[in-house]
Chains A and B, each alone.
Chain A
């Protein structure tokens, strides 16, 4: 009896393995997509960070150093140099 029954049992086991593998593949695909989104979010900060650093170093610092006339000159030079 045991020998006769083993084939269907094995088939059920294989089917379960297949289902588990499919689910793992789906889960991993979703995880990869999520990680790609997270990488993208991080990369998108680079440009904004650079812009803010540029404003602080090339605009705010000279403004903080100068008198009122210098403030106007620094602002004019900074904005005129953007293209």
Chain B
């Protein structure tokens, strides 16, 4: 039955006003380039009469300053619903939805601005395909039954091509194991083996990681590798899937064609794609959303997740400033560490959660051998380069306090450094999950055992409207509880003090800003 047409009544800086009886996918174009797609009924709200409104997605709002030819079309048949030259804000130029490097971006299905494949030429897509083949070959070499998954498989099977509104490449594999513990162990081992082959890896969870491949133009591309296994008659594929499935529907692997290249594929791609996207997988849907049953999400969360909390937020925060010089002045606690420790300098200072690396660099410049560790490797890139050029006694590495094996591995490695070791940790403890806080205490105990100290700073109170605290993902903590948690393993508090930011600012005659209290303490271990 033909669908009734949708109508776009108005487009303004607030959003779109539309109406229509059917839930259909609409594409929004700026100067003939698709920027955003949404479902007419699912994603909009009903207003007066039969009219509906949908606000501009948050990620797009900052671009709405200038002129564009705005077009709205039905996704499936391309029917034109709206086309008009529109001006937003006071901007005089054409609206350019581009990333920091000036490359065109659009909203992907997760609402993030990405370089989607429809903006790339065949030649530009070739390095991605090379990367897919490279990582597939590396995993096959390790005896893994790996194949393109999710959108990459969908594009290959449906069109033999990358999907225009997709932005990344996904691989999946079927583990020979059936228990989550063994699946995680296998994933750890794959990561190790790939690291030995020279790949840089970022782990998402116990059963998924990203392989970073440097392409000829110098761009680093991440390919997501999702672990899967069969248990109790169900296929579990990290990300979104747990569904009744049979082994023979995947193995032995068949083949599919992506942009003219032959790649492995599950034996029954129809069943596999139905398990991934539902019965309607053949119908293109750039605004697709997974409807994952709670029982599946709970299982995947409990089995595999919890080790990647806020990593993307930190990466995003550092991305725009990664090549910029951080401030030069050290923080109060770094100065205190230097003052207290300079009489008998420690053999190593670990700046845990070093961020941009400014304190670590300040300490290294004063002759203290320093190691900066942080969840996100993007923050310290600038200082790391400078430290190498200036031959400072300063090194950096990424370390994840949410993974116990990282804490045990790094804790042991650092504990091997002869002499006394000191930890500086500013505004880290209060960003962590309970699991991370346990690991933080374990790490400090390992590193500081034998006469070392922890110089700790955390927020102990903040107002709800404190933007800095919110942006830094800080959750104020009670100093008594922090002390109890960190001294349980034998540490002793040597010094402890609270400072209210308003008092300090008022003393200096500055704008007091929001009310917040910072707590600092020094804990030592024998």
**Which of the residues B202, B209, B409 comes within 8 Å of A79, measured between beta carbons?**
B409
By beta carbon, the residue of chain B nearest A82 is: B406
Is A53 an interface residue when CB atoms closer than 8 A count as contact? Answer: yes
Query: Could you tell me which residues of chain B, from 399 to 429, have a CB within 8 Å of some CB in chain A?
Result: 399-400, 403-406, 408-410, 412-413, 416
Asked if A51 is at the interface (CB within 8 A of a chain B CB), the reply is yes
B195 engages A40 (CB within 8 Å): no
Flag if B412 contacts A75 (CB, 8 Å). Answer: yes
Residues of A30-61 whose CB lies within 8 A of B:
40, 43-44, 46-55, 58-59
Asked if B302 and A50 sit within 8 Å, CB to CB, the answer is no
User: A59–B522 Cα gap in the complex (Å)?
Assistant: 31
**Selected interface stretch from B16-24, B108-116, B183-191, B440-448:** B183-191
- Which residues of chain A come closer than 8 Å to B184, judged between CB atoms? 46-47, 50-51
A48–B184 Cα gap in the complex (Å)?
10
Chain B binding surface SS class: helix
Contacts of B399 in A (CB 8 A): 79, 82
Closest chain-A Cβ to B25's Cβ sits at a distance in Å of: 36
Rounded to whole angstroms, the CA-CA distance of A47 and B302 in the bound complex is: 8
Interchain CB contact under 8 A, B203 and A83: yes
Query: Chain A, 59-72, contact with B by CB distance < 8 Å: what is the 0/1 string?
Result: 10000000000011
Hey, what's the 0/1 contact readout for A8-31 against B, CB within 8 Å counting as 1?
Answer: 000000000000000000000000
Q: Does B195 contact A79, Cβ atoms closer than 8 Å?
A: no
A40–B306 Cα distance when bound, in Å, is: 13
Contacts of B416 in A (CB 8 A): 71-72, 75
The answer to the question of B181 belonging to the interface, with a C-beta cut-off of 8 Å to chain A, is yes
Closest to A45 in B: B181
Q: How far is the CA of A52 from the CA of B403 in the complex (A)?
A: 10
Alpha-carbon distance A81/B162, docked complex (angstroms): 31
Do residues B408 and A50 form an inter-chain contact, with CB atoms below 8 A? no
B444 to chain A, nearest CB (A): 17
B484 within 8 A of A: no
> B303 to A46, Cβ gap below 8 A?
yes
Q: How far is it, in angstroms, between the C-alpha of A43 and the C-alpha of B202 when the chains are bound?
A: 24
Q: Looking at the complex, which one of A44, A52, A79, A80 makes contact with B404 (CB distance below 8 Å)? A: A52
Chain A interface main SS type: helix
Within 8 A of A (CB), among B175-210: 180-182, 184-185, 188-189, 191-192, 195-196, 200-203, 206, 209
Cβ-closest chain A residue relative to B306 = A47
- Residues of B contacting A81 with CB < 8 Å? 191-192, 195-196, 201
CA distance A54 to B406 in the complex (A): 11
Residue from A43, A48, A51, A59 in contact with B412 in the complex, judged by beta carbons closer than 8 Å:
A59
The CA of A55 and the CA of B181, in the complex, are separated in Å by: 13
Whether B56 sits at the interface, judged by CB under 8 Å, is no
Q: Which residues of A contact B180 (CB under 8 A)?
A: 43, 46-47, 50
One of B196, B206, B405 near A82 (C-beta < 8 A): B405
**Are B406 and A79 touching (Cβ within 8 A)?**
yes
B181 A49 Cβ-Cβ under 8 A? yes
Chain B contacts for A49, CB-based, 8 A: 181
Q: Which B residues lie within 8 Å of A48 (CB)?
A: 404
Residue numbers in B under 8 Å from A50 (CB-CB): 180-182, 184-185, 188, 206
Knowing A47-B306, A75-B416, A82-B403 touch, does A55 contact B409 (C-beta < 8 A)?
A: yes
Decide if A46 touches B181 in the complex (CB within 8 Å): yes
Residues of the A chain whose Cβ atoms lie less than 8 Å from the Cβ of B206: 46-47, 50
**When the two chains form their complex, are residues B409 and A75 in contact, meaning their CB atoms are under 8 A apart?**
yes
When distances are taken between beta carbons in the complex, the residues of chain B under 8 Å from A78 are: 409, 413
Q: Does B307 contact A (CB under 8 A)?
A: yes
Task: Flag if A43 contacts B299 (CB, 8 Å).
Answer: yes
**Does B188 contact A83, Cβ atoms closer than 8 Å?**
no
B398 within 8 A of A: yes
With contacts A46-B303, A47-B206 known, is A82 near B409, CB below 8 A? yes
A33 CB to nearest B CB, Å: 13
**B304 at interface by CB-CB < 8 Å:** yes
B413 in contact with A44 (CB, 8 Å) = no
Give min CB distance, B63 to chain A, whole Å: 33
**B409 & A83 in contact (Cβ 8 Å cutoff):** no
* Across-interface contacts of A79 in B (CB, < 8 A): 397, 399, 406, 409-410, 413
Q: In the complex, what residues of B have CB within 8 A of residue A80's CB?
A: 195, 397
- With contact pairs A40-B298, A49-B181 given, residues A83 and B191 touching in the complex (Cβ less than 8 Å): yes
Interface string of B378-402 (1 = CB under 8 A from A): 0000000000000000000111100
Closest to A41 in B: B302
Question: Which one of A49, A51, A52, A80 has the greatest number of beta carbons of chain B within 10 Å?
Answer: A51
CB-contact partner of A40 in B182, B302, B404, under 8 A: B302
Is A76 part of the contact surface with B, judged by Cβ < 8 Å? yes
Most buried by A among B298, B307, B408: B408
- A residues less than 8 Å from B298 (CB atoms): 40
In the bound assembly, the distance between CA atoms of A72 and B299 in angstroms comes to 38
A12 to B397, CA, bound (A): 74
Residues of A within 8 A of B306 (CB): 47
* Given contacts A80-B195, A81-B191, A47 and B409 within 8 Å (CB-CB): no
Q: Evaluate whether A83 and B413 lie within 8 angstroms (CB atoms) in the complex, with A44-B302, A50-B188, A51-B404 already known.
A: no
A-B contact pairs, 26 of them (CB 8 A): A44-B302, A46-B181, A46-B302, A47-B180, A47-B184, A47-B306, A50-B182, A51-B184, A51-B403, A51-B404, A51-B408, A53-B185, A55-B404, A55-B408, A75-B412, A75-B413, A78-B409, A79-B406, A79-B413, A81-B191, A82-B400, A82-B403, A83-B195, A83-B200, A83-B201, A83-B398
Closest 7 CB pairs of A and B: A43-B302, A50-B184, A83-B201, A81-B195, A51-B405, A75-B413, A46-B180
